[in-house]
Amino acid sequence: MMAISSPKGSGVGSPKAPTLPLPSPKAPPGYPDLYGKRREISRLHMLEREISFLEEELKSSEGFQPASRCCKEIDDFVMAKADPLLPTKKKKSRSSRFWKWLCCTPCSTLCSCLCCCCCCEPRCCDGCSKHLSLPSCSCCQHLRQCSCCKCVTPKSNCCRGSNSGCCKGSCGCQNCCIPPSCKCLSCCSCKCSCSCTCPTCPKLPQSCCCIKSCWSPCCCC
């Protein structure tokens, strides 16, 4: 509280108001700092434990091999192991096809379209236009029966029916076409947009992506 003083020039002899002392908080009580002590003991124990770990490690480091030995081990291991992602020269054989399932080789020159799956027989795709190019084809489930625009396996999830069943671009046809009530529209756009007209469900907007299959009566995104 500020001392109240009379204004200047108020006149000689005017009485001064009493000045109160400045507040001074009391000193904290002299309780023992138990929390601080326990915390310090805990920290000390952790330090002493770290010291013993380091002493152990220092002792064991006397037997460590030099880095060059580790590097040799790495070198030997790497050079001995075949790697399908390395561009090394290897004998091409049927048995090594297991790594080829994703890479592409052109079909026979007589074919008008390109097949994305090396696992496929170099068979011409029926009904495919020349506009189809990598990586437009979806490999059907059954190996060796890969065709671009129609699925051989009866239970496959490729789009059926009209030309819209031909999947262009990078979109795979995602379970969009389930008869009898669904039509696969633009499976060929980047987002698989299909609309299933269900009796009880409202129509879905075009941009709705059918993440789930249309097995259930309503298509839900």
Which listed residue (4, 5, 6, 43) binds another protein by CB under 8 A?
43
3-state SS, residue 94: helix
Query: Which residue stretch of 3-11, 15-23, 101-109, 121-129 sits at the interface with another protein (rule: CB under 8 A)?
Result: 101-109
Q: Which stretch binds another protein (CB under 8 A): 3-11, 14-22, 87-95, 124-132?
A: 87-95
Contacting another protein (CB under 8 A), which of 3, 4, 20, 46?
Answer: 46
- 181 and 169 in contact (C-beta within 8 Å)? no
192 binds another protein (CB under 8 A): yes
Cβ distance to another protein smaller for residue 87 or 205: 87
Q: How far is CA 160 from CA 97, 156, 180, in A?
A: 30, 10, 11
Nearest-10 Cα torsion for 47, 50, 55, 56: 150
Per CB under 8 A, 94 contacts another protein: no
Applying CB under 8 A, does 144 fall inside the site for another protein? no
Asked if 31 is part of the footprint of another protein (rule: CB under 8 A), the reply reads: no
Interface with another protein (CB under 8 A), residue from 3, 4, 20, 51: 51
Encoded tokens for 31: 């309780």
**Which CB, 3 or 134, lies closer to another protein?**
134
* C-alpha span between 104 and 90 (Å, rounded): 17
Pair of tokens at residue 181: 């009530």
Preceding amide of 28 cis, omega within 30: no
Q: How many helices (H) and strands (E) does the chain have?
A: 2, 2
Binders in 197-216 for another protein, by CB under 8 A: 209, 211-213, 216
| Residues 11-30 as x/- pattern, contact with another protein by CB under 8 A | --------------------
One residue of 18, 66, 180, 199 binding another protein per CB under 8 A: 66
| Contacts (Cβ under 8 Å, ≥6 apart) of 201 | 217, 218, 219
Smallest gap from Cβ 124 to another protein, in A, equals 21
Q: How far is the CB of 17 from another protein (least distance, A)?
A: 48
Told to check if 109 binds another protein by CB under 8 A, we report no
Start-to-end C-alpha separation, the chain: 69
